[in-house]
Chains A and B, each alone.
Chain A
Amino acid sequence: MKTLPILRAAAVRLGSAAVVLLCVATVAFFLVRLSGDPVKVLLPPDATAAQEATLRASLGLDRPLAVQYLDYLWGLPRLDFGTSLFYDQPVATVLLERLPATLELAAAALAVALLIAVPAGILAAVRRGRAGDTGVMAGVLIGQSTPPFWVGILLILVFAVQFRILPASGYGTAAHLVLPAVTLAIYSVAVIARLLRSALIDVLGADYIRTARAKGLGTGAVVLRHGLRNASLPVITVVGLEVGSLLGGAILTEQVFAWPGVGRLTVEAVANRDFPLVQATVLFFAATFVLVNLLVDLSYTLLDPRVRVAE
């Protein structure tokens, strides 16, 4: 019987997610059309008006806006996002071609972020107010306030140009993944470590921690088994949001490392006024966020028995 509320909640969430995505799809559709004309970008400036009209008609951009909009909406449930104006290929094909690189980068960056942030956050919380805490927090603050393109270039100069132990850019092997993943992870490290620190400090002051200590558990066991687990809830929320931004926020990192991901594709699509492709990438990012949020919400009920889905 207990599974039912979860299912019902999931259904409600999915319904509202669909509404959100519909809104995003609509806004993207109209906004991108306000910003310019893909035919003008595709054709050189010395094209004649007649040549423009021919191309516009063959791309279907001469149809009334309402017709184009309905056509677009009609395609969405069937996952038909139209044909990219610039690449002359189905948008889904173009997007799927770039997706693996983005997923790889986001996963690696998240792994790096957690590997650094979790120990750093714990250290800062346990050593609160002491040198360890100050050091970690200062490092984290520097990481958070340096722009990724600068960090990226710096890492390239040190590890690729100076020491030549890692490739400067490109894609393909695990070695290519290291520098972009680290660059992308730095901001997330800061966010996660800071939140973990404050959550853990809260928890470590709680009565049950005192009880745990009183019954003779060592500091490590207290912090890891009782502290970290109870502090993990807010952290998981933030990690979820970070997954969203890692997937969508890699634009600068992808530019710097010539990484063939969705972020760069989005920038190119906007520059080319590639309407269907812009619509699809915006929708992709929105869907990612919605999905991650949904998973985070649902994970609460599994992680914390006190959280019950409202019926």
Chain B
Amino acid sequence: MKKDRREFINTCFRFAAGASIIGVAGVLANKSVKGDYLWQLDPTKCTQCGRCATSCVVTPSAVKCIHVYDMCGYCDLCGGYFRPNVKNLSTGAENMLCPTGAIKRTYVEDPYFKYEIIDELCIGCGKCVKGCGAFGNGSLQLQVSHDLCVNCNECAIARDCPSDAFKRVPLEEAYQFAGFKTNKKI
């Protein structure tokens, strides 16, 4: 008799627990999304503070500078490549703005130069992005590189970002460039 009562109470609680699990699952399944959300930064909000280079749980950071070639002016005096007030426009290390030398400058035709980012060297500090945005077209933009990003539940850079530029984006909008709409389907 005693045992039966205990079992009965247990069964009641079990059904209550089961019902609440199903309830929560049902409510949330309605507003859930298929597939993962990804972290991406909004270049229009980014202030190039340099924290992307240090706050990421991955070293070197999963944030990289991506060159949107369609926006590039192919300038000889590139604000993203050269330090301010350089004496001669050469590829000497003393002239470079990038602390890791991750930008490759190649001659195309007079007076244009092509700038490429070497992803392996880029640490995502955003120095070149700041320079290009200040003096050029803003074709260098910081973006989360999704092959490197481990997609933390809560992005460590988003937590430290002073300009609130990080947000969760759906898979279809994995890259968010400012001033240029990508027509490549991902």
Whether A and B are associated in the same complex: the answer reads no
Query: What residues make up the interface of A, taking CB atoms closer than 8 Å to B?
Result: none
